[in-house]
Chain A
Amino acid sequence: MINLDSKVPSGHISEKWTNHKFNLKLVNPANKRKYTIIVVGTGLAGASASATLGELGYNVLTFTFHDSARRAHSIAAQGGINAAKNYQNDGDSVYRLFYDTVKGGDFRAREANVYRLAEVSGNIIDQCVSQGVPFAREYGGLLDNRSFGGAQVSRTFYARGQTGQQLLLGAVASMNRQVDLGTVKLFTRREMLDLVVIDGQAKGIIVRNLITGEIEKYSAHAVVLATGGYSNVFFLSTNAMNCNTTAIWRSHKRGALFANPCFTQIHPTCLPLHGDSQSKLTLMSESLRNDGRVWVSKIKNDMRHPNDIPEDDRDYYLERKYPSFGNLSPRDISSRAAKEVCDEGRGVHGGEAVYLDFRDAIKRLGKNVIEERYGNLFEIYETITGDNPYQVPMKIYPAPHYTMGGLWVDYNLMSNIPGLFVLGEANFSDHGANRLGASALMQGLADGYFVIPYTMGDYLASYKPTLVETSHPEFEKVKNEVQDLTNKLLSIKGKRTVDDIHKQLGRIMWNKVGMARNEKGLKEAIQEIRELREEFWKSVNVPGSGADVNQTLERAGRLADYLELGELMAIDALDRNESCGGHFREEYQYEDGEAKRDDENYSYVAAWELKENFNWELHKENLVFEYVKPAVRSYK
């Protein structure tokens, strides 16, 4: 029987975390070194968790499939990190950040988790500065801020357009210090392929050494997954090429519940598609919307050059529809608005793109100011497209970006499998149905620096888990299953390439489980994904062997998981008969096209348990809103 106890502490929301920290059990400093903890992933959440657990004195084994911890995809976050510092004296507070995040998530997040996130946000900035993260500063030497979507205050800290890079290098440096001190042992080029659960507790992992091909076993007292999101299920997304769902999906197959898989975020400002060979979609930071104005022509199929379209023929549709948030409307709303005008045939040249225009900002502030704020982003844009955004408006279109769904965790960030913790984008916990900009970095570091060091101790002290030898039969069994799967992928030698099948899956997902969903499309998607999965196992072609570097084999294993996850995403979307945040069901909308939430029936976290033969059972964690009363989410 699955027990979905969120373990949210009692008391007033502003005191929950303080009281909880006091109530959590501790591990004596001398005993910490007797415990071994596995951390998988070295992005913001994984690197910060490894660093803090190492600082506390635990033995940490950290794994990444990259050649270096610094490559994790947190590195690519551009715009910034939110924190309720109120340095700008513009009315920010922990409560307002909490309120904005719950509302931004369309009332589908757990209040207590979100409050804690807001509460520790200020400390994150302090910690990062103490590590030497070179945030942007004013002439007086104090930290600078900017605004992001879904907020009416300036609470975003940034380091040019490379905030994720600087934060990750800070977290990785802290982890490297622990490597230097001997508390963290770092294993690079290892991909986690399975979780070992013994007597109901997470006891270790099975990884493939990506250089030698060897399948290796590692055991620990607890396992922490910080392996990111699953947007690459769409094939084309803003995620890095190697981002994948394998670690969390295979843990799901070992019993961990998968929560809200259909909550995916489509980011409004990405570069439009250029052709069939495209490998990924490039994000342009949301911070551009601080000064750029989004518009399309009022005329369908307008083939004029954007600079020749006069003011009267331009529709600044975000400013028109959402006057109080304008170009800084939240991501889900901005993306849908872009799709709407393009579906009307008013996109760039009638196609799938809208303009993001800096003409007025350059006029108002001068080219120098714009260059200082966004220079590197403009360079990226010009490198890719060949167009100069100082002279011609950027062309942008929404693309899959972030996944709010992930493994279910309680307030301690532990999954329903004792000893299995899930941090960062890999869990479902803080962003509800839509994440606000600059909040992913905040969550990754909050989980790793400020939550796991407390809750891990409580697990070890209360459950008193033992270390199982990797010679245990269960380790051997799981290892053999992983080996069998590898052998099977290599033995099919069919007619279709991995990318070919992945692209087909991506098209199904984008068309039917993407920005707008409906019952008919979702039912078709489920059927099509099942058929494609069957075809994959009959006709995929993975050349080479498993005994050395084989990147096709790596991709094939990840695709096999996407072909299962994709189905669950569609099932979850079909089950949720409402529209909320990134999940828009065409049947559930107001007359003006805004999302129609159903709090009476769907105010819950959908946590799915995998049964035999790809049947899933739904478990519900009801969401209670004591502090932020659910209301129609208006940005008008």
Chain B
Amino acid sequence: METKNINLKLKIWRQKNSNSVGSFVDYDVTVSPDASFLEMLDELNNKLESQSLEPIVFESDCREGICGTCGLVINGQPHGPIPRIATCQLHMRNFKDGDTIWVEPFRAKAFPVIKDLMVDRSGFDKILQAGGYISANVGGAQDANAIPIPKDVASEAFDAAACIGCGACVAACKNASAMLFVAAKVSHLGLLPQGQPERYRRVERMIAKMDELGFGSCTNTYACEAECPKGISVKFIARMNRDFISAKLKSKSLDIA
């Protein structure tokens, strides 16, 4: 595959640490259209290192779109211009010779910048640690086929479970809401028979934690679904809201918060 390299102007966000003020820095690069976006940054970093300059900090790991580590805002869009992929799956053939590309970190109050393009998304784990599980100790599980689960139910639970926890939904939302992320987990577990005993307690606890961490509210713009690399549907937010209201109705507590 002999393809002609393309020349690009990059405007990349550089920020020393969470307390300092950042700014865009210009870089000119020449890159193969077959390279991925992150491989382009690798090459640029290799060049910077060879000049004893500090490379641009960005995160990535699997580079197959499944680990959820990477996440850049490219020309204003989380994970770039192509729908339903993570940043690591974006290839340079989607850009034209002479293009200018703006590269920023995910921006949200609950995702503070650590350095350059690296942000702190630990809030997501805190939400999952507030009930995002099914309490089943190892040891006593019954045979896996003991509870038949209709194919469509298992499939819908999977659609929700496909979330990679990248945070694009938060970055895309003007309110920096984590509703799609939380709804995906609540729905995954709430759809399955195994998840029923804790269904209402779970949704209450996870939403309370989400609010506590400073994620915003949902105003139904659907930007989250549009930017989600796994195409997770906003219908799960509606489902979570139903569960949340049910939980409040079933609650023995008289608090209405």
Q: Are B128 and A173 in contact, CB atoms less than 8 angstroms apart?
A: yes
Is there a chain B Cβ closer than 8 Å to A418's Cβ? no
Could you say which residues of chain A place their CB within 8 Å of the CB of B195?
A: 132
**Are B63 and A280 within 8 A (Cβ)?**
yes
Task: Tell me if A211 and B32 are in contact (CB < 8 A).
Answer: no
Is B115 at the interface (CB under 8 A from chain A)?
yes
The reply on A24 being an interface residue by CB < 8 A is no
Q: When the two chains form their complex, are residues B115 and A173 in contact, meaning their CB atoms are under 8 A apart?
A: no
Q: Is A544 located at the chain interface by the 8 A CB criterion? A: yes
- Cross-chain contact A134 with B192 (CB below 8 angstroms): yes
Chain B nearest CB: distance from A471 CB in Å? 29
In the complex, per-residue mask of B92-135: 1 if CB is within 8 Å of any chain A CB, else 0: 01000000000000000000001100101110110011111111
B115 near A130 (CB under 8 angstroms)?
no
Asked if A541 and B52 sit within 8 Å, CB to CB, the answer is: yes
Q: Tell me the bound Cα distance from A173 to B42 in angstroms.
A: 33
Q: What is the interface size of chain A, counting residues whose CB is below 8 A from a CB of the partner?
A: 83
Residues of B near any A CB (own CB < 8 A): 1, 17, 31-32, 34-36, 38-40, 42-43, 46, 48-50, 52-55, 57, 59-69, 82, 85, 89, 91, 93, 114-115, 118, 120-122, 124-125, 128-138, 141-145, 147-151, 154-155, 157-158, 161-162, 164-165, 188-189, 192, 194-195
Q: Is the CB of B85 within 8 A of A277?
A: no
Q: Output the least CB separation between A596 and chain B (Å).
A: 36
Chain A 219-252 interface residues, beta-carbon cutoff 8 Å to B: 240-242
Q: Which residues of B contact A140 (CB under 8 A)?
A: 148
A551 close to B55 (CB less than 8 A): yes
Question: What residues of chain B lie closer than 8 Å to A242, measured between beta carbons?
Answer: 61
Distance, CA A176 to CA B202, complexed state (A) = 13
- Contact of B36 with A279 in the complex, beta carbons under 8 Å: yes
Q: A165-B164, A277-B39, A493-B52 known; 20 other A-B pairs, CB under 8 Å?
A: A67-B122, A68-B121, A123-B141, A125-B144, A130-B142, A131-B136, A135-B144, A141-B149, A166-B158, A169-B161, A173-B133, A241-B63, A275-B35, A279-B39, A380-B64, A383-B85, A384-B91, A450-B138, A551-B55, A552-B49
Interfacial chain B residues near A138, Cβ < 8 Å? 151
By secondary structure, the B interface counts as loop
State the total of A-B contacts with C-beta under 8 angstroms.
216
**Which of A107-166 touch B at CB < 8 Å?**
123, 125-132, 134-143, 159-160, 162, 165-166
Q: Which residues of A contact B48 (CB under 8 A)?
A: 543
Once the chains bind, are A240 and B151 in contact (CB under 8 Å)? no
- A134 and B32 within 8 A (CB): no
Whether the Cβ atoms of A543 and B129 lie closer than 8 Å is: no
Complex contact B142–A380 (CB within 8 A)? no
User: Can you spell out 16 A-B residue pairs with CB atoms less than 8 angstroms apart?
Assistant: A68-B124, A123-B141, A135-B154, A137-B148, A141-B148, A141-B150, A142-B145, A143-B145, A176-B128, A177-B135, A180-B133, A240-B63, A279-B38, A549-B115, A551-B55, A551-B57
CB distance from A64 to the nearest CB of B (A): 11
Whether the Cβ atoms of B93 and A132 lie closer than 8 Å is no
Query: Which A residues are in CB contact (< 8 Å) with B161?
Result: 134, 166, 169
Residues from chain B with a CB closer than 8 A to the CB of A68 are: 68, 121-122, 124-125, 165
Whether the Cβ atoms of B61 and A544 lie closer than 8 Å is no
Binds B, one of A9-17, A71-79, A316-324, A609-617: A71-79
Q: Are A130 and B141 interface neighbours, CB within 8 A?
A: yes
